[in-house]
Structure 1
Amino acid sequence: MSYYARQYPVLERTVWTFDTSDEFRPGTFEDTVLSDLGPQVAPGKQSGTYTSPPIDAGQAVMWKSLNWRADLRLGSSIAMRTRFGATEEECLNARWSAAYEVSPALISSFGRNGSPTPVAARFVQIRAELVSGMGGSPTLMGIRLEAGLVPPACVGPVNLGVVEDGKPVFYWTRVEGAASYTLELSNSADFSGEVFRQDGLECSSFAYPREIKPGDYYWRVRAVDGLGNETEWSPIRQFKVGERPWNIGNLKHPYLFFNAEDIPAIRGALVSKYAATWTEILRRADEALDSELPDEKE
């Protein structure tokens, strides 16, 4: 994990397309053929598949959506599947996703709890499953993949932590390919209240420029790529600025400390019949401040 300025290329490509026969040609055709418009089921076959070469984004990205254009004849269909990997070999050996049957489709995988989760990987591969119908073979005419940066994650102040000095320093995970980051800080959980916003941060850290008063605060951050596309906001994190102790650094010596419950009695002594005595003690104490210290006795 690094909080330093970026030392890697900025992401400047987020869309990959297959729109012409030449772009489809490097793929693998199983019981399909390449027509002038795109892959079709081969003559004499009822179904077939087209598999793209692995697509390399150059870095780990968040794969967002899969769109395709097709000429569907009566009773025919096209379903799409995807698989991913950090390396090309890992991608080629990965399991295919569930079928996407409606375009556009949001790309996701299913976690252990069965809920869809976004997919972050460097490589992706697409498989189209074509089935002929009464009207003949469908034609896959185009594919469009969209991706973006992986959102950053908040590191510190830790969630529900306490900042004692009122000058928080924010840290988040570095995002590969990010051109900059945007940070927001608010005193309301939904950011509907007062919001501090800092754009154009090139490092994955930020020191708040002034002291903030005690209370509860919420913060979030997102990354921006080289094309100006923004990621989703990170999950919101909460922290508290604690009550700070009384600053005695600027007080003159000598000074005394009293318990709050003793102060009324002390004030009463200054207006009692002993007031003159207290005043004399104070006068002598003030004179002693300017006196030279006596020599130390042997």
Structure 2
Amino acid sequence: MRLLHTILLSLIATAAMAAPPKLDERPAADQEWGYRPASGSVSEVTPPNFSWRPQKGVVRWEMQCAPSRSFKSVAYRGEGIAMNVHTPAVTLPSGDYVWRYRGFDEKGVATKWSQVRSFEIANSATEMPMPPRKELLARIPNAHPRLFMRPEDMPRLKNLAQGRMKEQFEALVAKCERLLKNPPPTAEPPKYGPMVVRNSDEWRKIWWGNRTY
């Protein structure tokens, strides 16, 4: 009898350990980014940017985008997504789509699929695929400048500034000189105090205010 009891407890424990994590699908609260593309929305870019609610215990995500709710034909599948946001590296044709997502815990156990959301990609959508992270990092040159232009662009830009675009270049310099006469603030931005609660209105006011700098 004791052996049977031990076996039953083991089976129950094993079943509990194998139970899939519950997917948090609460609606977005005020000031939260929420689920994008939202149901019924029209995307003016292709591919659209996908986002959903983050969740503790989920270590990677998978999302699918398809032309029908059956998902028998998947137009795009993103796997091994580290965060709750994702932009595909490929464009999608204009038309109607649905999308869904699910998460995996550290043991590889998946949640159920999320509810299905529908959206449309406009015929005039701008193509804006997001290259993979490795490709983006590989594109960054080791030399400066590398923020708004690349080192190999400098000779061409200098020729333009001294040649056929000299007038526009001098107008741009003059505008910059005027702005520098009344420069933006350079003081240290405010810090979060020990009593400031993350994501509170006070925290958000400081966080958003730092964009001034």
Q: Which TM-score band (shorter chain)?
A: 0.3 to 0.5
Q: Which has the higher strand share?
A: 1
- TM-score (normalised: structure 1): 0.34
Q: Which has the larger radius of gyration?
A: 1
What's the TM-score, normalizing by structure 2?
0.47
